Structure 1
């Protein structure tokens, strides 16, 4: 039996590789695809070459194809997409920005988040007032991920704190301007 397997090692490698690739198709993300490609590739090369390949050469070929498959798998990132952050939990949505796709009120609406993961569209409720389609929003409360509480970025930029800070800045500018005028008047008379 062992001699039969060794004599037909390329066929065994090809069958095992194809089996692992089928398992990966059934259960994506299990990372069986790399091993499956390595085994199937070595088996295919062993079957196509007319030379009698020793098991050691097939093992080395499996390792080389496995390294290449790993590089391609990581470089192209078939399951995740480079640079696209997947949402890990609802708390990670807090502070995310996006825009309104259906007008958001305190009872209904829909938003699309820029970093919302695989399905970036979420039901949303307004924190204050109505937010029209196309307006940029920020997530205030992820609400367990089912219904987000959002606020308009434009409204947040002009909230009471910002207005008070602007008033303070204007007062400081006015005081600085009046003190400069006083200094220049005293220098001009002296």
Structure 2
């Protein structure tokens, strides 16, 4: 059995993985989930194989286990997107807003108003101003200038809500 400072390497790996799990519970965010999982599995494999395998073979088995489980968990972590790492729940920056469409929620005039953008991020409501004239509530608009702050410039697409939409909105 491989020992470090009088303790088995398998036990040290397991304890290190558990300590990382506790640390990550205190500061959530899945920053060390891959390493934590690899260390815990390697520690458990080492404890299971320890009595049956010689020291050098066990050390190689533990190293292979850490690399294999780490690679597998990294792949699963990225592909399954458990924590939304691919940007699905993120807000957009202003440069990606140009050309987006939405509906007017509060009458838009050249000095102000409000719109709700389709796929507008965490908070899809934006303060808006029109290029020229008034755009009434319910009309479809397109962002022509995202600005850079929280005010976008829009133009009407000439599509207003139908009677059913107005009745549903009133109710």
- The answer to whether the superposition gives a TM-score over 0.5 is yes
Residues 114, 127 of structure 2: 8 Å contact kept: yes
- Unaligned regions of 5+ residues in structure 2, if any? 160-171
Q: Name the structure where helix makes up a greater proportion of residues.
A: 1
Alignment of 1:1-190 (within 5 A): 3-5=3-5, 7-21=7-21, 22-23=23-24, 26=27, 28=29, 30=31, 32-47=32-47, 49=48, 51-52=50-51, 54-80=58-84, 82=86, 84=88, 86-87=90-91, 89-100=93-104, 102-106=105-109, 107-114=112-119, 116-117=120-121, 119-127=122-130, 128-133=133-138, 135-154=139-158
Shift of 1:92: 2.1
Q: Name the structure where strand makes up a greater proportion of residues.
A: 2
Shift of 1:77: 1.7
Bigger RCO of structures 1 and 2 (CA < 8 A, at least 6 apart): 2
Residues 131, 152 of structure 1: 8 Å contact kept: no
- Output the TM-score relative to the length of structure 1: 0.61
How far apart in 2 are the matches of 1:18 and 1:113?
Answer: 43
- RMSD of aligned alpha carbons: 3.2
Larger radius of gyration: 1
